[in-house]
Structure formats: C-alpha cells, structure tokens
C-alpha cells in the first residue's frame, strides 16, 4: 500500500444483492459469495487495480436501512462514519427494485457521490422484466449501470462510471411538520457533523443505536435529548409511519416511471424446489435425502481419493523413510504415531483434505442453490416450542456452514436471552461444514445407521439444551420473525468450484502449520511421559464411561488445537478397524460437542463477554462428556456391546 491517500469506494446494498460478487469482479480478489443473506459479516477491502487513480474498494455487509434496529446492521453505519467514503457504489438487485429503492432513499440522503449497479439483470431479462436504466439514472441523478455480476457482465462499464460518480439529488422532502422539526434540531447539532440531515432524522426517530457522545458534550447531549422529546411530544402522530410513507411514495413514483414491463415469475426449477423444500411433508425427506446423498458421496468418493493418494504418495514415503532411517526418536519424530509427517502434513493433505474437498463442493452447491434459509422454515415451529422466536433460527442454520460466522450473525437477534441460547446451541451440537464432512467420513466404516443415530442424537440434545436454557435464562421481549428468502437458483458450477478451491486453500493456509505444531506438541508431551499419565488419569472417563479406546485421549487433545486434526486421527483409527459401531458414534458425537474451535471460542467471548463466555465453554465441555456417556450406555443397553 502506498502512503498517498487513495479514494474510498464503499459498496452498499440490501442483503444478498451480489455486493461481494461485484467486489470480486472489480478487485480480482475473492470473498465468499453465496445465495443467501449475511454471507459478508465484516467489511473487507482491496485495491481496484484497473483504475488509473488509486481506489480502495470496501465491501460492506448488507443492510435494510440506516435506521438501525439490530446490532448486526450497526457495522455499515460505523463504516460510513469511520471511513468517510468518497464514492458509494450502490448495488441494487433488479429483481427487487422497489425493495432496494427504499434503501436507495436513505443512501441518497447522505449526499455522497454515487453510482448504481443494477445487478442480476440476466435474471430480470429472462423473466421478461424491463427496467429503463436511463430513466432511473435521471430520477436518481447518478450513473446507473446494468450488471450481471455472476457472469462478470457490466464490470468495465461500472469502472468507467465510477469516474463519473455524482452527488444524488435529495430524493424527497418529508411532510412539513417533520421538516420543521429537523430544522428546529439543526441549530443544536454542530455544523461539522457528517451526514447532517440523516443524523438529524435518526435523532428524531430515536434510533436506539445512535451514540450521542460524538455529537456533543455531556450537557448538550442532555439538552439535545430533551429537545427531541419535546418536539415529538408536540408532534401529533407516528413519525415512523410518516417517514416510511414518504419514502414509499417516492419509491412508487420512481418504480412506475422506470419499470417498463413487469416480469412473470415462472421459473419451474425455482418454484418446484421452493415448494418441495418448504413443505414439511416433502421438505424433511428432501433434507434427509441431501444428508444421505452427501454421506454416500463423501464416504465413497473421498474414501477413494484418500486411498489413491495414500497408496501413491504418503505410503511410499513413509515406508521409504522407514527403510532408510533406523529406529529411534528421529524416525518417530517423522513418521511415528505423532510424527510431523504422519499426524501433521500427511494427515492434513491426504486424510482431511479429500474429505473436505468433496464435502465443501456439495455444501457449496446447496449454498448457491439457496437451500439453507429454507431449513429455518421447516424447523421454526419446533424452535418456537423451546422458546426461540424466529430471529434465532437463521444464525443456527448458518452454523452448519461456519460456527464462528454464525456466532457473529446472532447480532441480528435483539433479545439478549435468545442470543445467548443461539450462541450456545451453535457452539454445542451443530457440526460445521468441515466437521460434518469429516463426521460422515468417520462414520463411513460403521455404516449409514451410525450416521443417522449420531445426527439424530445431536439434534435431540440441541432441542433439550434449548428447552433447558429457555427455562434457566430470564425472559425478555422478542422480535418478529421476518426472513427474506433468496430465490432458488441453478448453481453455477464454476462459481462453486472456485468457492471450494478458496475454502480448501484457506484451510490449508491456516491449518497446515497448526497440524504440524500439534503433532510436535503431542510428540514432546508423549516423550515426557505426559501422555501416559493423562491416559491413566482419564482412563475411567474415556474407557469406562465413554467406552472408547484409550487412544481417544490424543484425539481429544488434538480437538483443542483444531477439530480437523482430531477427525483425521480418528479417521485413521477407524480405517485401521479399531473402532466398533458404537465407538464410532461416540467419538463423532463427543468431538462435535467437545470444545468448539478456537475461532468459535473467540467469537463467543466477543459476543457475550469473558465471564459468560467462559461459563458457556466450560459447561459445554462438561455436558458433552456427560451426554456422550449416556448415549454410550443407552446404545450398549439396546444393541449390546
């Protein structure tokens, strides 16, 4: 990065409008793109290389309005204030023009030069919907570029439009009384405050996330607050209604001038999949089908890859080293039970990687199809029973992707109680995509019944834990459940492959070193006799209570470093025929529940604070041992040992 101040462009828009895809197209970098909201949680930035001047592009999370009602949308406002962007690249999903325009109104009021990317134009074209972008450009007073970001269409035009970004006209005035109130407040707010009109309006709307500190000194703050209350008291009416009515009147006007032809929504695939996946009669079988299909594909395809790779590469290397190096600590260090090659590098690349590549590919297909949000439709009522209103469901569903990300999305839950429960449930019984893939592989040797039992058990304990927590934690008000559903789309294979490639690349980049360090650590720990002591000490728990081979102590230690290492280790045990049916289930169940990964723990602490976070992590560990043991003895009771 050079020291010259570069111009900042921020991408703003509703959730799931393709902001990250545009970001990727313009910068040539890669951020995860999916067909559902909340894929981008934290802003990412990169340089736009193709423009002559220096530009930094910031990809912001999606949001609905600058009037904020949950913490998750705070990020965008924080970015606007801290970054003070020079240009806004406003991303509009052409399918949802009216919904987007409602946000456009807000953005235009900021008075920042702007360019509109009218995205997903390929889809509206297919539908037969026609939007007059020239008319739209005229109405907004800014350049409008039609794009189809997934195909890269319109990228060049967008680049040149960015050079001609203009300050939009003020969309519309509010009713006279509100304008008067804005005027009346105006004197009390320092002139240098950015986005003044917007801030004044937010003050009047009594936005609960607005921090007053930076507006004024302590005394002025109190005066300002009092002035707002006085004004509102004299205002006979509901300012929220009045403001959104004004916005929508403007939206309708623009839409009727620019939408030249309405499209007919009749995508067979989309409609059919939507109906199938949302109706419980077909939705649950479909979910089950997807799970079993992935199970068989992971077990067979990944198993095959793993075999081929190890017989071609890792086995020959291990036996070669075995032949040229005589027995001793060096040999053990390289290819022993805790060798940096066997447990470290080869485990990562030849055992874990094949499983992850197959599962990430499958998961990416489901993601880009838009399947995941529909799960919340299926399970909502069940979650209602255990005290979770709708808001908590989407974050929990997202936990199947990445638990850390999912923990961060709980910011969208206004109720503190539900947020705590959701964070607990995400950390507790939900296997993230990596874990799910590896669980499938581990249970591959034990057969499909073991997979069903393990998943069924995890689902059951989640429900019980949710219900118990609901009783334990004090009640507070909960918000309504309103979830926009992305349309089902036929996934683009190239996009899915690219996403899978990046996920695998990031996995290797982040974890190869950890794999090797963990192997070295375990090697040293074993050499010092610590491992034997721990095995002796934990024998009653591991062997007697959980019914697992004593080697599982190593797996549990490795879990703390990274779940994938432990899974690789267990997978090797399983492949060596050292795990029975019940043992396979128990080892999967315990490693799924036991210690969430480090990133997840960090996220928990960040969201709940150190004290609650610590209590949560400790109790999860304790409970996971308890429950896995109970499952063990129940299975023995019914199936015999």
Partner 1 sequence: MGKHLLDEHREKIWILLESGGGTVEELEKKMGEKYNTESLEQLVTGGDIRVDEKTHEINFTPKGLEAGRLLIRSHRIAERLISDVLGGEFEIGACEFEHLTNKDLVDSLCTLLGHPRECPHGHPIPLGECCRISADTVKSSILPLSSLEIGQCAEIAYVQCKDKREIHLLEGLQLKPGTTVKLHQRFPTYVIEVEGTQIAVDDEVVKNIKIWVSSTRSSCGEAAGDQAEDQAQRGHRRPRGFRFRGRRRIP
Which residues of the chain form contacts with partner 1 (CB under 8 A)? 64-65, 67, 69, 95-96, 98-99, 102-103, 205, 236-238, 240-241, 243-245, 247-248, 262-265, 274-275, 278-280, 373, 376-382, 384, 389-390, 479-485, 487
Q: Residue 305 corresponds to which tokens in the numbers above?
A: 């890859």
Nearer to partner 1, 266 or 326 (CB): 266
Contact (CB, 8 A) for 383 and 502? no
Give the nearest distance from C-beta 153 to partner 1 in angstroms. 21
Nearer to partner 1, 158 or 274 (CB): 274
Give the nearest distance from C-beta 214 to partner 1 in angstroms. 23
- Provide the CB-side half-sphere exposure for 170 (13 A, CA): 8
Give the nearest distance from C-beta 482 to partner 1 in angstroms. 5
Distance CA 567, CA 440 (A): 10
Position of tokens 């109970």? 630
Assign 3-class secondary structure to 162-228: HHCCECCCCCCCCCHHHHHHHHHHHCCCCCCCCCHHHHHHHHHCCCCCCCCCCCCCHHHHHHHHHHH
Which secondary structure element, helix H or strand E, spans residue 638, and what is its range?
helix 610-639
Other beta carbons within 10 angstroms of residue 159's beta carbon come to: 17
User: DSSP 3-state assignment of 148?
Assistant: strand
Where b means 16+ CB within 10 Å and e means fewer, 387-411 reads: bbbbbbbbbbbbbbbbbbbbbbbbb
Sorted by sequence, the CB contacts under 8 Å of residue 398 that are 6+ apart come out as 38, 372, 405, 406, 409
Nearer to partner 1, 93 or 306 (CB): 93
Give the nearest distance from C-beta 182 to partner 1 in angstroms. 17
- Provide the CB-side half-sphere exposure for 437 (13 A, CA): 27
Nearer to partner 1, 222 or 234 (CB): 234
User: Diameter of the chain by CA atoms?
Assistant: 91
Q: Residue 389 corresponds to which tokens in the numbers above?
A: 């209103």
Give the nearest distance from C-beta 311 to partner 1 in angstroms. 48
Residues in the chain: 641
Give the nearest distance from C-beta 239 to partner 1 in angstroms. 9
Give the nearest distance from C-beta 59 to partner 1 in angstroms. 21
Q: Residue 540 corresponds to which tokens in the numbers above?
A: 């009653």
Nearer to partner 1, 171 or 336 (CB): 171
- Shortest CA distance to 440 belongs to which of 548, 571, 556? 571
Give the nearest distance from C-beta 483 to partner 1 in angstroms. 4
Position of tokens 């297919």? 126
Nearer to partner 1, 231 or 589 (CB): 231
Query: Cβ-count burial of 78 within 10 angstroms (0-12 exposed, 13-18 middle, 19+ buried)?
Result: middle
Distance CA 22, CA 25 (A): 5
Give the nearest distance from C-beta 641 to partner 1 in angstroms. 39
Sorted by sequence, the CB contacts under 8 Å of residue 303 that are 6+ apart come out as 441, 444
Nearer to partner 1, 417 or 563 (CB): 417
Nearer to partner 1, 370 or 547 (CB): 370
Distance in angstroms between the alpha carbons of the first and the last residue of the chain: 63
Give the nearest distance from C-beta 232 to partner 1 in angstroms. 11
Nearer to partner 1, 251 or 579 (CB): 251
Nearer to partner 1, 6 or 478 (CB): 478
Nearer to partner 1, 274 or 426 (CB): 274
Give the nearest distance from C-beta 263 to partner 1 in angstroms. 8
């Amino acid at each position: 990065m050079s020291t010259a101040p570069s111009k900042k462009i921020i991408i703003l828009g509703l959730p799931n409008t393709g902001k990250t895809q545009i970001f990727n197209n313009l910068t040539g970098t890669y951020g995860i793109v999916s067909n559902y909201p909340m894929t981008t949680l934290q802003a990412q930035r990169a340089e736009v290389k193709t423009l002559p001047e220096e530009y930094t592009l910031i990809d912001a999370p999606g949001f609905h309005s600058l009037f904020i009602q949950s913490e998750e949308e705070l990020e965008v406002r924080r970015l606007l204030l801290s970054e003070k962007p020079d240009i806004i690249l406003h991303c509009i999903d052409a399918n949802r023009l009216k919904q987007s325009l409602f946000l456009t109104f807000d953005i235009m009021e900021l008075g920042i030069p702007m360019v509109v990317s009218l995205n997903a134009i390929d889809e509206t074209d297919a539908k037969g919907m026609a939007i007059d972008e020239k008319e739209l450009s005229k109405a907004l007073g800014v350049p409008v570029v039609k794009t189809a970001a997934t195909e890269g269409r319109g990228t060049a035009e967008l680049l040149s439009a960015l050079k001609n970004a203009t300050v939009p006209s003020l969309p519309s005035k509010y009713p006279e009384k509100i304008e008067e109130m804005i005027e009346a407040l105006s004197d009390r707010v320092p002139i240098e405050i950015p986005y003044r009109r917007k801030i004044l309006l937010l003050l009047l709307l009594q936005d609960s996330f607005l921090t007053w500190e930076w507006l004024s000194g302590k005394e002025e703050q109190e005066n300002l607050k009092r002035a707002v209350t006085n004004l509102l008291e004299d205002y006979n009416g509901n300012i929220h209604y009045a403001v959104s009515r004004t916005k929508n009147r403007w939206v309708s006007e623009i839409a009727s001038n620019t939408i030249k032809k309405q499209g007919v929504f009749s995508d067979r695939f989309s409609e059919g999949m939507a109906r199938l996946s949302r109706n419980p009669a077909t939705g649950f079988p479909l979910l089950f089908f997807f799970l079993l299909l992935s199970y068989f594909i992971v077990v067979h395809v990944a198993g095959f890859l793993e075999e081929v790779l190890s017989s071609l590469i890792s086995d020959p290397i291990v036996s070669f080293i075995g032949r040229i190096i005589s027995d001793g600590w060096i040999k053990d260090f390289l290819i022993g039970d805790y060798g940096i090659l066997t447990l470290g590098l080869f485990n990562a690349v030849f055992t874990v990687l094949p499983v992850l590549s197959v599962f990430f590919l499958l998961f990416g297909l489901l993601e880009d199809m838009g399947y995941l949000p529909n799960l919340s439709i299926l399970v909502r009522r069940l979650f209602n029973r255990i005290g979770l209103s709708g808001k908590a469901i989407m974050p929990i569903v997202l936990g199947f992707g990445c638990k850390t990300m999912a923990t961060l999305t709980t910011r969208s839950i206004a109720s503190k109680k539900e947020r705590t429960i959701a964070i607990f449930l995400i950390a507790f019984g939900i296997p993230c995509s990596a874990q799910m893939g590896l669980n499938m592989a581990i249970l591959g040797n034990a057969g499909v019944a073991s997979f069903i039992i393990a998943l069924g058990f995890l689902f059951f304990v989640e429900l019980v834990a949710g219900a118990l927590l609901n009783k334990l934690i004090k009640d507070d008000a909960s918000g309504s459940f309103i979830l926009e559903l992305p349309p089902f789309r036929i996934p683009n294979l190239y996009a899915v492959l690219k996403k899978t490639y990046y996920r695998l690349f990031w996995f290797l980049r982040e974890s190869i070193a950890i794999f090797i360090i963990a192997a070295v650590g375990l090697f040293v720990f074993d050499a010092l006799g610590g491992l034997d002591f721990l095995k002796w000490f934990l024998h009653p728990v591991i062997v007697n209570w959980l019914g697992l081979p004593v080697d599982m102590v190593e797996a549990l230690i490795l879990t703390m470093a990274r779940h994938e290492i432990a899974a690789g280790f267990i997978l090797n045990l399983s492949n060596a025929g050292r795990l029975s049916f019940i043992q396979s289930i128990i080892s999967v169940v315990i490693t799924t529940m036991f210690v969430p990964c480090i990133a997840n723990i960090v996220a928990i602490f960040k969201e709940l604070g150190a004290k609650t976070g610590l209590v949560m992590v400790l109790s999860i560990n304790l409970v996971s041992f308890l429950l896995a043991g109970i499952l063990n003895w129940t299975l023995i009771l019914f199936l015999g040992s």
